[in-house]
A and B are shown apart, each in its own frame.
Chain A
Amino acid sequence: MLDDSDSYVTEDGRTIGGVVMEMQNITLRFGGVVAISDISFDIREGEIRAIIGPNGAGKSSMLNVISGFYVPQEGRVMYRGQPRPQMRPYEVARQGIARTFQNIALFEGMSVLDNVMTGRLNHMKASVFQQALWRGKAEAEETENREAVEKIIDFLEIQHIRKTPVSRLPYGLKKRVELARALAAEPSLLLLDEPMAGMNVEEKEDMSRFILDVNDEFGTTIALIEHDMGVVMDLSDRVVVMDYGRKIGDGTPDEVRNNQDVIDAYLGVSHD
């Protein structure tokens, strides 16, 4: 077994570091409904960590707990070895945790470029007056932020739609713009909520490639949710499997694939 602070090298030569985020005995209820029941797992620096499970398993709820949109009734979230106090979503985002949404939450009225620029908001430190006068920090900052944004736009191959209003884009491209906006924040942890939901095979392949490239190029730690098992197994280093709010499996894709509980959950064996 690995220790929390240990690092190791994967078969394809990437270095996976110590534990960045640890969920400890998280329980989340909505009224009488238990969405998440006593779940613990950790996320290591530099890895691609997947949370999978059938529909309604509580995957999205889990992601919402990590990003501060939901507050669990029990358990705690450890971030970089420290217990995280209760935070609002925007405070979590300012800590360097960026996310995308299952149902895409983009600024529909803005251009692609403006959308990605909003990802940089927390890297802008100049005061209103400096910005108004275009003095001091403001100018240097704007240039720096523009460069960072252009780099990401290049990287995700969306240069051709830079100026297009987001509302006019097809679904697949919207997903990519949302990823670009999250990346623009230079997150230390990137949360992707069903990045491939509703995509055709070709789009899924593109998105998988981008996720791998992001992880490889920027060393970004990624936690993603997916219910399509095939895609996830090829992408991720480790997988948590959820079913009915409980954790039924946790390990490398191979370990999970051979786990009897997981096979049952996906094939729909009844629980006695």
Chain B
Amino acid sequence: MPEQLAFAMEVTLNGLMSGVLYALVALGFVLIYKASGIFNYAQGVMALFAAMTLVGIMNGQVPFSHLINALLGTEIHHFGWHVPGFLAIILTVAVMVLLAWLVQVCVMRHLVGQEPIILFMATIGLAYFLEGVSDLMWGSEIKTLDVGLPQGINIAVEEATYKLFDYGFFIDNLDIVATVIAALLVSGLVLFSQYTKQGRAMRAVADDHQAALSVGISLNFIWVLVWSVAGFVALVAGIMWGTKSGVQFSLSLIALKALPVLMLGGFTSIPGAIVGGLIIGVGEKLFEFLVGPMVGGATENWFAYVLALLFLVFRPQGLFGEKIIERV
């Protein structure tokens, strides 16, 4: 097999795996959008906040330590203990549920029935607020996150492909783990929404608010639930990206990468978010590989957005989104 082709295969595989990470972020958007019609601009910041909280808890950092020290003149920074990753993740999930509840009680509940643009504006405000709170709580320096996920080149894949193609693929262990976890997460979500009472109620609310009320579903409860699940998805995305490139402000910008994914997959479709993520992941890696050298590289920065733009022009509802039918 020619080396070029083997190389292209490696690029495709890597693309698929980074696509999984895009899909994870996009999934958080879809969940909230489906259930409440809110485009949650803060999803990326939620991932940042979740990752920072996780690191903070693991390192035994005192939350708001800068604020406390400045106000009381003390010098506390650490509790002096380290929390194991597994326990820290559970605690972070609890924090994300609390955050979901606060968002619902303090913000969204007062905006029921408002125009979508107003809800969107509220989430922009929420994003900046949350960004500030994360900094204030845990400090703004770059942190490394290590919950014990394997990293580095996967030797088994390299050896196997070397035997086959005479060329060893470079596949990062972290990407493989991310793919497996994302697959588990998505199947878990599907099972939850298909077979549990709360899942059924969630789908019901996503479909029709009035009808949901008439069968005794509390919209408030479901929205807290949905924001909690979105917070959990944000945490998973935050762990993956944070492990890969450190926990820092730029983590919140992964939300921008999710936008083209949503344009492709449609805002209301979970399979759409996954397929959209994979297409963007593979597309931008292959495009960079094939076309990049001709135009001087760095196509990864804009490829996804141009693709999204084309979709907006020719298929605005995305691949799996609900068809937009205007009845006159």
Contact yes or no, B196 A185, CB < 8 A: no
Beyond the given A106-B211, A132-B196, please list 11 additional residue pairs across the A-B interface where CB-CB is below 8 A.
A88-B218, A90-B217, A101-B214, A106-B208, A110-B203, A118-B212, A121-B197, A121-B215, A128-B198, A131-B197, A185-B216
Is A126 interfacial (CB 8 A cutoff)?
A: yes
Residue of B nearest to A101 (CB): B210
Residue of A nearest to B34 (CB): A109
Contact yes or no, A108 B198, CB < 8 A: no
Is B158 interfacial (CB 8 A cutoff)?
A: no
Is A80 interfacial (CB 8 A cutoff)?
A: no
Report the bound CA distance from A182 to B213 in whole Å. 12
Is B204 interfacial (CB 8 A cutoff)?
A: yes
Contact yes or no, A94 B216, CB < 8 A: yes
Q: Out of B192, B198, B218, name the residue touching A90 (CB < 8 Å).
A: B218
How many contacts between A and B, using CB within 8 angstroms?
78
Is B182 interfacial (CB 8 A cutoff)?
A: no
Q: Out of A94, A110, A181, name the residue touching B207 (CB < 8 Å).
A: A110
Q: Out of A93, A110, A128, A132, name the residue touching B214 (CB < 8 Å).
A: A93
Given A90-B219, A121-B215, A122-B215, A131 contacting B196 (CB threshold 8 A) = yes
Q: Out of B196, B210, B215, name the residue touching A118 (CB < 8 Å).
A: B215
Q: Out of B192, B197, B219, name the residue touching A124 (CB < 8 Å).
A: B197
0/1 interface trace, chain B 185-203, chain A, CB 8 Å (1 if under): 0000000100111101101
Is A119 interfacial (CB 8 A cutoff)?
A: yes
How would you classify the secondary structure of chain B's contact residues: helix, strand, loop or mixed? helix
Given A90-B219, A105-B208, A107-B207, A67 contacting B198 (CB threshold 8 A) = no
Report the bound CA distance from A150 to B213 in whole Å. 23
By a CB distance below 8 angstroms, the chain A residues around B195 are: 131
Report the bound CA distance from A132 to B216 in whole Å. 22
Contact yes or no, A67 B216, CB < 8 A: no
A94-121 interface with B by 8 A CB criterion: 94, 98-101, 105-110, 114, 117-119, 121
By a CB distance below 8 angstroms, the chain A residues around B212 are: 90, 118
Report the bound CA distance from A69 to B209 in whole Å. 12
Report the contact-size class of chain A (Cβ under 8 Å from the partner). Answer: 20 to 34
Contact yes or no, B207 A119, CB < 8 A: no
By a CB distance below 8 angstroms, the chain A residues around B204 are: 107, 110, 118, 121
Which residues of A pack against B, CB within 8 Å? 67, 69, 88-91, 93-94, 98-101, 105-110, 114, 117-119, 121-122, 124, 126, 128, 131-132, 181-182, 185
**Shortest Cβ gap from B91 to chain A (Å):** 19
Contact yes or no, B200 A118, CB < 8 A: yes
Residue of B nearest to A99 (CB): B214
By a CB distance below 8 angstroms, the chain B residues around A88 are: 213, 218
**Shortest Cβ gap from A171 to chain B (Å):** 15
Q: Out of A94, A105, A109, A128, name the residue touching B210 (CB < 8 Å).
A: A105
Contact yes or no, B207 A109, CB < 8 A: yes
Report the bound CA distance from A105 to B215 in whole Å. 11
Contact yes or no, B215 A119, CB < 8 A: yes
Given A106-B208, A107-B204, A107-B207, A89 contacting B197 (CB threshold 8 A) = no
Report the bound CA distance from A101 to B214 in whole Å. 9
Report the bound CA distance from A108 to B214 in whole Å. 15
CB-defined A-B contacts under 8 Å, sample of 21: A69-B210, A90-B213, A90-B219, A91-B216, A93-B214, A101-B211, A105-B214, A106-B208, A107-B211, A108-B208, A110-B203, A110-B204, A110-B207, A117-B200, A118-B200, A118-B204, A126-B197, A128-B196, A131-B195, A132-B196, A181-B215
Q: Out of A90, A99, A105, A121, name the residue touching B200 (CB < 8 Å).
A: A121
Contact yes or no, A98 B207, CB < 8 A: no
Report the bound CA distance from A220 to B218 in whole Å. 25
By a CB distance below 8 angstroms, the chain A residues around B207 are: 107-110
Contact yes or no, B213 A69, CB < 8 A: yes
By a CB distance below 8 angstroms, the chain B residues around A101 are: 210-211, 214
By a CB distance below 8 angstroms, the chain B residues around A131 are: 195-197
Residue of A nearest to B221 (CB): A90
By a CB distance below 8 angstroms, the chain B residues around A110 are: 203-204, 207
